[in-house]
Copies of this chain bind each other. A is one copy, B any other.
C-alpha cells in the first residue's frame, strides 16, 4: 500500500513516516507544500531509519503529487490548515483513497489547553465535509505524542482511537495502525463521535503539564 503523509515534514508526519517505514513494507511518500523540503526530510528519515538498521526508500513530493500517488492520505497538518489542504488535493484523491485526519482544534490560555472544535463539531467532520464525494474520511492518531512516536527507541504500548462512517476505510486504517509495533487501534464510533476522541488531546497535554514524569503521555484503555 502507498501512504502519503501530507505535511509530512512536521512532527506527527515525521513520526508516522518513521514508524510505518520501520514496521511495514508500505511505500511512504512525504508531502509538503515545498517539494524540495519534502525531499530533504525524506532523506533525513532514510538516514534516521538507516541508523536503526532499516534500509528504506522514502520519497518526497509536493502535497498534490504525493496525494495523487497514494492509497491512503494522512492530513498531518495543524487544524487551521486542514481545510485548505483538502481543497488543494481534492482533485488528486481518487474514489479509492482514504483521508486520515489526526488534527485537533485547541486553544491555550493561562489555565492550560482547551478543546475548541470547529462549528461543525469536530475537525474530523470538517474534513469529511470538505472531502470530495466518495472519498472516505477516518479520524485517527490524535492522541499520540509526536515526539514519543518519532523516537524509534521507545516502545509505545499505547492505544489510538478511530472514528469514521465508512467501515472499509476504518478497517484499512485499523490495519495500518495495528501494524505499528506497540500501537493498538480501537474503534470509537462514527464521525459523530469524533469530538470526544479529539478532546482527549488537550486533556493529555494538561496531564503532561500538571503531573511529573508525564511528558509525552499517551493512553491505554483497559
Are B200 and A158 interface neighbours, CB within 8 A?
Answer: no
Binds B, one of A1-9, A75-83, A93-101, A183-191: A183-191
Minimal beta-carbon separation of A185 from chain B (angstroms): 10
**For the complex, is A111 an interface residue (Cβ under 8 Å from B)?**
yes
- CA separation between A187 and B217, bound complex, in Å? 13
Binds B, one of A28-36, A46-54, A201-209: A201-209
**For the complex, is A115 an interface residue (Cβ under 8 Å from B)?**
yes
Are B210 and A186 interface neighbours, CB within 8 A?
Answer: yes
Chain A 81-131 interface residues, beta-carbon cutoff 8 Å to B: 109, 111-115
Counting chain A residues whose Cβ lies within 8 A of the other chain, the interface size class is 35 or more
- CA separation between A206 and B193, bound complex, in Å? 8
Give A202's nearest chain B residue, CB to CB.
B196
- CA separation between A115 and B219, bound complex, in Å? 19
Are A158 and B193 interface neighbours, CB within 8 A?
Answer: no
Minimal beta-carbon separation of A10 from chain B (angstroms): 23
- CA separation between A186 and B109, bound complex, in Å? 21
Which are the 3 A-B pairs with shortest beta-carbon distances?
Answer: A196-B203, A111-B192, A187-B210
Question: Which residues of A come within 8 Å of B, CB atoms?
Answer: 109, 111-115, 157-158, 161, 186-190, 192-193, 195-197, 199-200, 202-204, 206-207, 209-211, 214, 217-222
Extra contacts, 9 of them, besides A114-B192, A196-B200, A196-B203 (Cβ < 8 A), are A111-B190, A111-B193, A115-B196, A187-B211, A188-B207, A189-B209, A200-B200, A204-B221, A217-B221
